[in-house]
Copies of this chain bind each other. A is one copy, B any other.
Amino acid sequence: MTRVLVVDDEPQIVRALRINLTARGYQVLTAHDGASALTAAADGKPDVVVLDLGLPDLDGTDVIAGLRGWTSVPIIVLSARTDSSDKVSALDAGADDYVTKPFGMDELLARLRAAVRRSATSPTAGEDAVVETASFTVDLAAKKVHRDGAEVHLTPTEWGLLEMLARNRGRLVGQKQLLQEVWGPAYAKESHYLRVYLAQLRRKLEPEPSHPRHLLTEPGMGYRFEL
């Protein structure tokens, strides 16, 4: 789900955006001043930021600069000012788009889609798309697994499981979490599936399937992908 951070100090604008965005399946985070916008962006990891320039505490370009210091998340600026100089300074500070109030909701949504589409195709996502271990490599973007140079074929379920573990590499992933993500919310208790498919993955990927080095079991808790 796409996460949108809406930064505006006018409640009615925030409300209108929240309603429209939520109705279209976006997840909406909000902040009402510059300082909380920066922390919310760091905390909520939004996919796109809608930023009003007329904030009470910070200048708009400072907020943009504060974001651009560590993230390349798309920023769409809202502003009541139609001055060309305002637009130029905001865009040059690092904003991706500039919409003047009053704005049409259709247009804003279209510009938001465009911004999200752009950033989706560029692999700037913080995580690396290819995970490598001593015995095999997982390419998350291409959905391919290689072992000793040769490609290993995985079934959809096997891949879903491996992908979930690889995206959380190093961390423990609970069985319930795995089951709900790969099989669906109704399968939260079918822990037998995990045993069957972990065995299959180990047989395909581990040098010694009975003594796994990368696909580890944490008894009673879940599984962990270790590099």
In whole angstroms, how far apart are the Cα atoms of A15 and B164 in the complex? 38
In whole angstroms, how far apart are the Cα atoms of A224 and B142 in the complex? 9
Which of B94, B114, B125 interacts with A96 by CB under 8 Å?
B114
Tell me whether A143 and B221 are in contact in the complex, defined as CB-CB below 8 angstroms, given that A84-B104, A91-B110, A121-B72 are known contacts.
Answer: yes
Asked if A106 and B118 sit within 8 Å, CB to CB, the answer is no
In whole angstroms, how far apart are the Cα atoms of A123 and B127 in the complex? 14
Q: Which residue of B lies closest to A220 (CB)?
A: B156
Which of B91, B110, B124, B144 interacts with A114 by CB under 8 Å?
B91
Tell yes or no: A203 within 8 A of B by CB. no
Q: Which residue of B lies closest to A97 (CB)?
A: B97
**List of B residues within 8 angstroms of A185 by Cβ:** none
In whole angstroms, how far apart are the Cα atoms of A107 and B144 in the complex? 35
Within 8 A of B (CB), among A124-172: 124-125, 141-144, 155-156, 159, 170-172
Tell yes or no: A95 within 8 A of B by CB. yes
In whole angstroms, how far apart are the Cα atoms of A210 and B26 in the complex? 43
**List of B residues within 8 angstroms of A142 by Cβ:** 170-172, 224
Which of B92, B104, B113, B122 interacts with A91 by CB under 8 Å?
B113
Asked if B143 and A171 sit within 8 Å, CB to CB, the answer is yes
Tell me whether A113 and B92 are in contact in the complex, defined as CB-CB below 8 angstroms, given that A84-B107, A143-B218, A220-B156 are known contacts.
Answer: yes
Asked if B144 and A172 sit within 8 Å, CB to CB, the answer is yes
Q: Which residue of B lies closest to A86 (CB)?
A: B107
Asked if B172 and A143 sit within 8 Å, CB to CB, the answer is yes
Shortest Cβ distance from A10 into chain B, in angstroms? 21
Residues of A within 8 A of B (CB): 72, 84-85, 87-88, 91-92, 94-98, 104, 106-107, 109-111, 113-114, 117-118, 121-125, 141-144, 155-156, 159, 170-172, 218-221, 224
Query: Would you mind naming 27 contact pairs between A and B with Cβ atoms under 8 Å apart?
Result: A72-B121, A84-B106, A84-B107, A88-B106, A88-B107, A88-B109, A88-B110, A91-B111, A91-B113, A91-B114, A95-B114, A97-B114, A118-B118, A121-B122, A121-B124, A122-B122, A122-B123, A123-B123, A141-B171, A142-B170, A142-B171, A142-B172, A143-B171, A143-B221, A155-B219, A156-B219, A159-B221
